[in-house]
Chains A and B, each alone.
Chain A
Amino acid sequence: MRFGIVVFPGTWSDTDCHHAVNGVLGQEAGYIWHKETLLSGYDCIVLPGGFSYGDYLRPGAMAGLSPIMDAVKDFADSGGLVIGICNGFQILCESGLLPGALLRNKHLEYRCQWTNLRTERVDTPFTLACEPGQVLKVPVSHGEGNYYADAATLDHLESEGLVLFRYCEPSGEVTPRANPNGAARNIAGIVNAQGNVLGMMPHPERCCEEILGSVDGSLLFQSIVESVK
Chain B
Amino acid sequence: MFLAKVYVTLKPTVSDPQGQTVLATLANLGFDTAVDIRVGKYLEVHIDETDRAEADSLVYRMCQTLLANPVIEEFRYELELTSEEE
Binding site for B on A (CB under 8 A): 57-58, 61-62, 65, 93-94, 99-101, 103-108, 148-150
Interface residues of B in 31-74 (CB under 8 A from A): 41, 65-67, 69, 71-72
Binding site for A on B (CB under 8 A): 13-15, 17-18, 21, 41, 65-67, 69, 71-72
Inter-chain contacts of A57 with B (CB < 8 A): 41, 66-67
Inter-chain contacts of A100 with B (CB < 8 A): 71
Tell me, rounded to whole Å, the shortest Cβ–Cβ distance linking A51 to chain B: 17
- Do A103 and B67 touch across chains, with their CB atoms under 8 A apart? no
Interface centre among B18, B21, B41, B72 (most CB of A within 10 A): B72
With A101-B72, A148-B71: A106-B66 Cβ-Cβ less than 8 Å: no
Assembled-state Cα–Cα distance A108/B22 (Å):
12
Assembled-state Cα–Cα distance A149/B67 (Å):
19
Closest to A108 in B: B17
Inter-chain contacts of A93 with B (CB < 8 A): 71
Besides A99-B71, A101-B69, A108-B17, 9 more A-B contacts (Cβ < 8 Å) are A57-B66, A61-B66, A65-B65, A93-B71, A94-B69, A101-B71, A106-B15, A107-B17, A149-B71
Tell me, rounded to whole Å, the shortest Cβ–Cβ distance linking B70 to chain A: 10
Inter-chain contacts of B65 with A (CB < 8 A): 65
- Do B17 and A106 touch across chains, with their CB atoms under 8 A apart? yes
Identify 22 residue pairs between A and B in the complex whose beta-carbon atoms are under 8 Å apart, listed by A's number.
A57-B41, A57-B67, A61-B69, A62-B66, A65-B65, A93-B71, A94-B69, A99-B71, A101-B69, A101-B71, A101-B72, A103-B14, A103-B72, A105-B17, A106-B15, A106-B17, A107-B17, A108-B17, A148-B14, A148-B72, A149-B71, A150-B13
Inter-chain contacts of A107 with B (CB < 8 A): 17
Inter-chain contacts of B71 with A (CB < 8 A): 93, 99-101, 148-149
Tell me, rounded to whole Å, the shortest Cβ–Cβ distance linking B74 to chain A: 13
Assembled-state Cα–Cα distance A73/B18 (Å):
33
Assembled-state Cα–Cα distance A104/B72 (Å):
12
Inter-chain contacts of A149 with B (CB < 8 A): 71
Assembled-state Cα–Cα distance A77/B36 (Å):
44
Inter-chain contacts of A58 with B (CB < 8 A): 69
- B21's partner among A61, A62, A101, A108 (CB-CB below 8 A) is A108
Inter-chain contacts of B14 with A (CB < 8 A): 103, 148
Assembled-state Cα–Cα distance A62/B66 (Å):
8
Assembled-state Cα–Cα distance A118/B15 (Å):
26
